[in-house]
Structure 1
Amino acid sequence: MTAFAYCYTDPLLDPTPDLGRWQGVDRVYQDLGQRSQLQQLLSDCQTAPPNCLYIRRLDDLGDTMAEIGDRLVQLQALGVKVAIGESSLATDRGSELTLQTDLIQLLAIGQQQRSRRLRQGHARNRLNALPPPGKAPYGYRRGKEKYAIDRTTAPVVKDFFENFLLFGSLRGAVRHLAQKYGKKISVTTGRRWLTNPVYRGDTAYQNGETIANTHVPIISREEAAQIDRLLRRNRQLPPRTASAPRSLVGLAICSECQAPMTVVSVTARRQKREYLYLRALQCPQRPKCGAIAYERVLEQTIAAICRDLPDAVAQMNFPQLDAAKQSLLNAIANREEILAQLSQLTSTGVLDEETASLRAYKLRAEISQLQAKFATLPPVNLRSVAQAVSIPQFWRDLSESERRFYFREFINQIQILRQDTTWQVRLVFVF
């Protein structure tokens, strides 16, 4: 028995198929974008028709129901049995079609064809880095070919980002918008703003790919990288401690009972003065671990970070870090160089317009991925920053909110080590 196989791939929508699945067939025809091999298949069937033709799906035979029906009639007039499925001849051979079942399936795939044409249109827009369908994000308006800054709402978004960068609190930034502009958004919406590639000048599509530098950004790459670091740090903290008014909340932990320590306030009777303490409320010990004066822990934390931070930064392997950064920069430059050559290859006829557009799209997506990896690396000036913040007066001049922000830039955990009636502070840095 003679068997042929045919598969059609739309480069805009479908991944490249694995032809190894067609084991045991006598001949395999494959089309990418155009259906020239399908015409060759029909011509070969006129000369020496096979007993069976395998296809992956019915709409491989055409873009419209009329085309599919016409080609099915041609094949069945030649006595070729058409089977749908990706099975080999050694196993299940797929579902064999008759003309009657073909007509029923043609009606059934009408909606699929319309959906596929719609997705093809969206894919062509992606190749040209056009915005996806739908309303523009707050702060932008839809331009002719890209997002454009909305001068009335963009300052609101910019102020939201600046507040988050200053204090590191998502809930605080949301409250700031409501108080200053009367713009009420949920915490979930605020988190989406912080991670939305659009505000960074990039366009994200439904297929999960992102194209960089498609329009004017509201925040810079450096600000975006810092936002990502803050969000990663906040995820490691207990709930609702990211916006706590005290800088040690969420960081201090008792090494004796391993319970997180929170701030409790005590006031003396008939006195307005407030006394702050750090206490492990969930301590399982009996008796419970005692409370410690908040100001004393804060002073020791400042002294420890000024003493230990420069040494911790000095132990980092900066040559290895620099090599990783340079490798990413070289990879980005390499793809940008290839991208610049595509217009010349198109003008000389080496590539057609469709292939060049598809290649450019993939290169831009790869560049976006590499830039995202580069943004996750520590800043280059970490050593100089460590020297600057190792001055005790720097920390004393900050407010509690500002101190909370900087503590979480460097400290992962503040451990309270108890020794009988005394205690000391040990810092666990984020690097």
Structure 2
Amino acid sequence: MKIIAYAYSDPLLESSLDPTNWGWEMDRIYHDLGKRSELQQLINDCQTEAAVYLLIRRLEELGDSVEEVSDRLTTLEAMGVMVIATEQPYTSENANLRAQLLKLLQEIQRQQRSRRIRQGHARSRLEASPPPGKPPYGYRRGKGKYTIDRSTSPVVKDFFEQFLLYGSLRGAVRYLAKKYGKKISVTTGRRWLTNPVYRGNTAYQHGEIISNTHIPIISQEEAAQVDRILRRNSRLPSRTASAPRSLAGLVVCAECQSHMTVTRVTQRYQDKEYLYLRPINCPQLPKCRAIAYQEVLAQTITTVCRDLPLAVAGMNFPQLDAIKNNLGDAIARQQEILTQLPALIETGVLDTETAKLRAYKLRTEISALQAKLATLPPVNLRSVAQAVSIPQFWLDLSESERRFYFREFIRQIEIIRQDNEWTLQVIFIF
């Protein structure tokens, strides 16, 4: 008894089948990719073979329509081939299951209708056209791509500028509501910040992204800065990213390991206020005492000015440059292959459909490499560290501006208590 298998894969929708996944020891495996020439060869071979078992995953792989599936199934069974569908309740030699063929054919019809819709979406992806659905706020649909909506895009641009200036998502959301009357939730604001469309890219299923498909609202440099701020804010306690004080969310008591919050104390009939840092959840008895906010702020500025240039000088910049150069070289190689595809079509090495598939894969790989490159620290980190190591730089900033720069460099500030005295240790991000 001879056992063979047949599988059909649509290159637009799925990857090629792994022959080892059948779980049976096969005499031969026929596999078609896009066309069904191997299926015809299978039928020709079965005319000279006796008592053959044929394994397929699903009946709809035998054709592109119900009629084709039914005709080829009849042809195979007329030659004595026992057809077994591994993912459907169908076996040629089982009369009870054969009675379900009509029901299976109806299912096949639905599956093929779904496949045609997905094939249409896949062809749109190959052309870098937008996916189905409503375009993001700030864009509208043009001829095969997103185009800027001049009436709403300034709102989105202003939202990003506000976030980049102060590093506060909730603050940017409140700013839109106050200036434009555009009310969005914090969740929607976060989706805006991470939406590839605003960066000039188009995202498809499974997270695949193609870069430079339309005019962006923010530049690549701004997008990289947005990502850095989001990563930085994700390390902070909830709601401290938009807190008005620059040290909020950064200070931890080394004694009780509790984060410290900023509290405001006022006196009756007086306008003056006093700010303190106190532990939020201190288990000690007696509890760790509060510390004057301005004293911690002044000590933090002194420590940053002293230690930040040393910390940056200790970074391995040659290794960082090597990583950037390797990513840049990989992007250049992929782009060079992309430029060679039209010539390969003209010479007949590739057909148009295969070339489009290859171009799509190359563009998604380039986008992934560019995303990795954008996550690396900026090249001018050493010069920035020198600029911010001047005390007057920090003293001239507002609290919101100081908050932005602190979080750009500082991971955590630890208050180390010794009797009635305290010192602090600044832990930098790098």
TM-score normalized with structure 1 length: 0.96
For the Cα contact (< 8 Å) 1:4–1:26, is it kept in 2?
yes
Q: Would you say the 8 A contact 2:10–2:33 is kept in 1?
A: yes
Q: Distance between the aligned counterparts of 1:272 and 1:123, measured in 2?
A: 65
Structure 2 counterpart of 1:327: 326
Q: Distance in 2 between matches of 1:354 and 1:102?
A: 34
| Equivalent residues of 1:212, 1:368 under 8 A apart | yes
CA distance in structure 1 between the partners assigned to 2:39 and 2:270 by the alignment: 91
AA aligned opposite 2:54: L
Q: Cα offset for 1:107?
A: 1.2
CA contact (8 A) 1:160 1:173 kept: yes
Instruction: Give the conservation status (yes or no) of the 8 Å contact 2:46–2:52.
Output: no
Residue identity opposite 1:38 in structure 2: L
Q: AA paired with 1:131? A: P
* Deviation for aligned residue 1:94: 8.3
Partners of 1:273 and 1:101 lie apart in 2 by 84
* Secondary structure in structure 2 of the residue aligned to 1:47: coil
> Where does structure 1 lack aligned partners over 5 or more consecutive residues?
87-92
Partner of 1:90: none
Matching residue of 2:53: 52
Aligned pairs (5 A) from 1:248-267: 248-267=247-266
Q: 2:174 corresponds to which residue?
A: 175
Over 3 Å counting, the alpha-carbon distance change for 1:49 and 1:63 in structure 2 is: farther
Structure-1 residue corresponding to 2:14? 14
Equivalent pair of 1:4/1:50 in contact (CA under 8 Å):
no
Query: Who is 1:34 aligned against?
Result: 35
1:189 aligns with 2:184: no
Aligned AA (1:302): I
Q: Distance between the aligned counterparts of 1:207 and 1:423, measured in 2?
A: 51
Q: What's the Cα RMSD here?
A: 1.4
Identity of aligned residues (%): 68
In the alignment, the residues of structure 2 paired with residue 66 and residue 414 of structure 1 have an alpha-carbon distance, to the nearest angstrom, of 72
Unaligned runs of 5+ in 2: none
Q: How many residues align?
A: 425
1:234-249 equivalences under 5 Å are 234-249=233-248
Task: Give distance in 2, aligned partners of 1:49 and 1:321.
Answer: 65
Shift of 1:79: 1.3
SS at match of 1:164: helix
The aligned residue for residue 89 of structure 1 is: none
Distance in structure 2 (CA, Å) of the matches to 1:188 and 1:142: 24
TM-score norm. by structure 2 comes to: 0.96
Residues 365-399 of structure 1 deviation map (CA, whole Å, 9 limit, x = unaligned): 10011111111111111111111111111111111
Task: Judge conservation of contact 1:12–1:120 (CA < 8 Å) in 2.
Answer: yes
Partner of 2:64: 63
**1:297 is aligned to 2:296:** yes
Structure 1 residue runs of 4+, over 4 Å off?
Answer: none
Q: In the alignment, what sits opposite 2:2? A: 2
Q: What secondary structure sits across from 1:5 in the alignment?
A: strand
Aligned CA distance change for structure 1 residues 50 and 146 (closer, same or farther; 3 Å): farther
Is 1:74 the counterpart of 2:75? The answer is yes
Aligned-pair distance for 1:95? 4.9
Q: How many Å separate the matches in 1 of 2:13 and 2:71?
A: 24
Structure-2 separation of matches of 1:66 and 1:343 = 38
Verify: 1:96 aligned to 2:91, yes or no. Answer: yes
Contact 2:90–2:101 (CA under 8 A) maintained in structure 1: no
Partner residue of 1:411? 410
Is contact 1:127–1:357 with CA below 8 Å preserved after alignment? Answer: yes
CA contact under 8 A between 1:411 and 1:429: conserved in structure 2?
yes
